[in-house]
């Protein structure tokens, strides 16, 4: 399923992230003062940076994930546009070690596939499921899947370790399970 989902998004325009940002800002804004964790897009992913830039302009602190051991929870460091980023595993980009650690209230979550029930298929390392489980054990956090509309599938297979999304934003709109 992962290979088929990667193929679905092949050739799609990452700049569709501009449309995605407009839908989120119109329909589903984070609360005032919320720390928003985003991600630096990998090739083939819809670009969340227009949304992150708009949220920073509205006064939200931004964070990007820092990856440690496979299947462990991510940590997050402060990010401002223009800050240097270092290479992370799997082709990711992350803030340098001197950037302060933040705990997010709102997470933009990358994915390969999603369904209308809020399930997601990730890249397979378990980072976001572990992260959401750890954060949700302490307090309420909001998880917003970020994807192309073409990444929607009828049903994502799940197990007891999978964490649901609170909503999914695409270039076509916002889906709330």
Average pLDDT value for residue range 24-35: 95
- pLDDT top residue among 70 and 26: 26
Contact 68, 36 (CB under 8 A): no
Say yes or no: domain 2-175 is CATH 3.40.50.10420: yes
pTM above threshold 0.85: yes
- How is the chain split into domains, by residue range? 2-175
What is the band of 4 on the pLDDT scale with cuts at 50, 70, 90? confident
């Amino acid at each position: 399923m992962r290979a088929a989902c990667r193929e679905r998004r092949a050739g799609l325009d990452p700049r569709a992230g501009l449309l995605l940002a407009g839908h989120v800002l119109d329909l589903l804004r984070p609360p005032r003062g919320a720390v928003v964790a985003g991600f630096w897009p990998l090739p083939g992913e819809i670009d969340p940076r227009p949304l992150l830039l708009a949220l920073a302009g509205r006064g939200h602190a931004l964070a990007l994930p820092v990856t440690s051991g496979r299947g462990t929870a991510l940590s997050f460091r402060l990010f401002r546009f223009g800050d240097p980023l270092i290479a992370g595993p799997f082709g990711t980009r992350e803030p340098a070690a001197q950037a302060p650690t933040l705990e997010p209230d709102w997470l933009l979550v990358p994915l390969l596939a999603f369904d209308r029930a809020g399930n997601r298929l990730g890249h397979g390392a378990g980072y976001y499921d572990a992260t959401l489980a750890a954060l949700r054990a302490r307090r309420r956090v909001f998880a917003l899947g970020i994807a192309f509309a073409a990444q929607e599938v009828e049903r994502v297979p799940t197990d007891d370790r999978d964490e649901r999304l609170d909503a999914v934003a695409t270039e076509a709109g916002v889906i709330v399970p």
